[in-house]
Amino acid sequence: GAGVSQSPSNKVTEKGKDVELRCDPISGHTALYWYRQSLGQGLEFLIYFQGNSAPDKSGLPSDRFSAERTGGSVSTLTIQRTQQEDSAVYLCASSLQAPRGTHGYTFGSGTRLTVV
């Protein structure tokens, strides 16, 4: 697609429920990143996928968080047993295949998650 597409744009869920957030990167971008941004805060790294390599999961805050990337394209971020502190905007970004950190990112519009 022309840009990074994320869905849903907004999600309100009850505490304890599971949620799935989807990211469709730019065609041809093999690097995919998930970040979290709490209100008025900076960008918190969650997970990085590059091609068929093992993902860098070092930013996931707990074992309730997991992510998959099927077929080297679409990625799903799953949060199990959501807590109120999970409320944030979840941003996905993609970039060209290259050594990590050598090209700019294109961000999606994000999913605003609210846990009530």
Partner 1 sequence: GENVEQHPSTLSVQEGDSAVIKCTYSDSASNYFPWYKQELGKRPQLIIDIRSNVGEKKDQRIAVTLNKTAKHFSLHITETQPEDSAVYFCAASINNDMRFGAGTRLSVKP
Residues numbered 94 to 113 that lie near partner 1 (CB under 8 A) are 99-110
Shortest distance in whole angstroms from residue 43 CB to partner 1: 5
Q: Would you say 79 or 91 has its CB closer to partner 1?
A: 91
Q: Would you say 10 or 66 has its CB closer to partner 1?
A: 10
**Chain centre distance of CA 112:** 12
Contact residue for partner 1 among 26, 47, 91, 115 (CB under 8 A): 91
Residues numbered 32 to 71 that lie near partner 1 (CB under 8 A) are 41-43
**Helix or strand or coil: residue 71?**
helix
Shortest distance in whole angstroms from residue 38 CB to partner 1: 12
**Amino acid (1-letter code) at residue 29:** H
Q: Would you say 25 or 108 has its CB closer to partner 1?
A: 108
- Residue 2, Cβ density class (10 Å: 0-12 exposed, 13-18 middle, ≥19 buried): exposed
Dig out the tokens for 27 from the structure: 């065609």
Q: Would you say 52 or 70 has its CB closer to partner 1?
A: 52
8: preceding bond cis by omega (within 30 degrees): yes
Task: Tell me which H or E stretch contains 50.
Answer: strand 44-50
Shortest distance in whole angstroms from residue 54 CB to partner 1: 14
CB atoms within 10 A of CB 33: 25
Interface with partner 1 (CB under 8 A): 41-43, 91, 99-110
